[in-house]
Copies of this chain bind each other. A is one copy, B any other.
Amino acid sequence: MNSKLENLWEEVRELSLGTTPQIDRLHTPPTPLQFLRDYLSQNKPFILSASAATTLQWPATTLWTSTSYLLNALSSSTVSLHLTPTGQADSLTAHPSNPDSLCFASAHVQRAPFSDAIDAIKASRKNNSGARFVAYAQQQNDCFREEYTALAGDCDSHISWATEAIGGLPEAVNLWIGNELSETSFHKDHYENLYAVVTGEKHFLLLPPTDVHRMYIREYPAAQYVYSEETEEFRLEVEDPVRYVPWCSVNPFGFSNEKEKEKSKFPLFYNGPDPFQVTVKAGEILYLPSMWFHHVRQSPDNRGLTIAVNYWYDMRFDIKYAYFNFLQSLTCCKPRSHNSDSFIIENVSDGDEIIENNEQD
């Protein structure tokens, strides 16, 4: 483990982010200046309490708790539905032709009438408990404004203090409807993200971009789930020709039941500072800064759904981004090969060199 990287992880917490797993909680909405100065400029997350987020004034807060309202409003809408065997999409899973190694599996995506999507989400159970699939209505392509136009009036089209601070409207607004089985693995986005939960709860684990080495980003062969309605089974197809996707190797809740094995594979993750943890409840808004690694789970409301809207604003590719890319170009551990989840952890002691990493993008 390299002491210089450890110093970086600690210093950014001591100077700016705080040394506990909590993030700032605001009880009044920030002014655009406060948002820029205290959070966006510093690449620092916060959560805005429901009473301050003004989301409680959204019609969505009451209307979307009624499934019949949604079914009625979206009766003629077709939406993007993601199907997976277990709720983990854009996630690492056993390679179909080499179960000792991992691949990066994307969901089976299909367009479906909204009522079918709701039925599928309600029917979702883990396939090892007898059911067929886990469905998640979402698409990170501005789906709220593209597919859910009938709901446009139910929540703000943008977050006003963020829009004024950033100087432009959101690049994309995405809607997410799922249940507790859907989980999003650690990744980062090149957007400033305002994440509003409307019903249910979202549970985030967050790590700042300075901690990139703790994610063990490696390249994995891309694969897609293909679901057959006929057989009610999934097939996992690895792309041919092979395409490698850089992805975080760490699953904070473990790929296996062998916690000790995970710890020995990802010591920088397990031995470093705890991830920041935050639960975003209905009516609350999380500011998730650009380039932060985030892992998301969710809890449903009493009818079994979690619904959220997130606003993606363009990030600035400034000195912070250049620093990140430089940092990521250095590493202290090397993968043995592509298509493998086992790495050689170099015996780098305090004061030794940071060694070359030549396989990341």
Contact = CB atoms under 8 A, between A and B. Distances in A.
Interface string A71-110: 0000000000000000000000000000000000000000
27 contacts: A5-B326, A7-B329, A8-B322, A11-B322, A11-B325, A12-B318, A12-B319, A15-B321, A15-B322, A16-B316, A16-B322, A32-B33, A33-B36, A33-B165, A37-B165, A40-B41, A41-B316, A41-B318, A43-B318, A43-B319, A44-B319, A320-B323, A323-B323, A326-B327, A330-B330, A352-B356, A353-B355
A210 B166 contact: no
Contact of A8 (B15, B43, B326): B326
Contacts of A36: 33, 36-37, 41
Nearest to A329: B4
A354 interface: yes
A326 B7 contact: yes
Kindly report how many copies of this chain are found in the complex they form together. 2
Interface in A5-61: 5, 7-8, 11-12, 15-17, 32-34, 36-37, 40-44
Interface in A326-361: 326-327, 329-330, 351-356, 358
Contacts of A11: 322, 325-326
A208 B355 CA distance: 25
A167 interface: yes
Nearest to A15: B317
Interface size grouping (class) on chain A: 35 or more
Interface in A154-209: 164-167, 208-209
B351 A353 contact: no
Nearest to A318: B42
Interface of A: 4-5, 7-8, 11-12, 15-17, 32-34, 36-37, 40-44, 164-167, 208-210, 316-327, 329-330, 351-356, 358
A356 B316 CA distance: 32
A contacts with B: majority SS: helix
Contacts of A5: 326
Nearest to A323: B323
Contacts of A323: 8, 210, 320, 323-324, 327
A316 to B, nearest CB: 6
A250 to B, nearest CB: 21
Contact of A319 (B37, B208, B322, B358): B208
A81 to B, nearest CB: 37
A147 B232 CA distance: 83
Given A208-B319, A210-B319, 17 more contacts: A4-B329, A7-B325, A8-B322, A11-B322, A11-B325, A12-B318, A16-B322, A33-B167, A36-B37, A36-B41, A40-B41, A41-B41, A210-B323, A330-B354, A351-B358, A353-B354, A353-B356
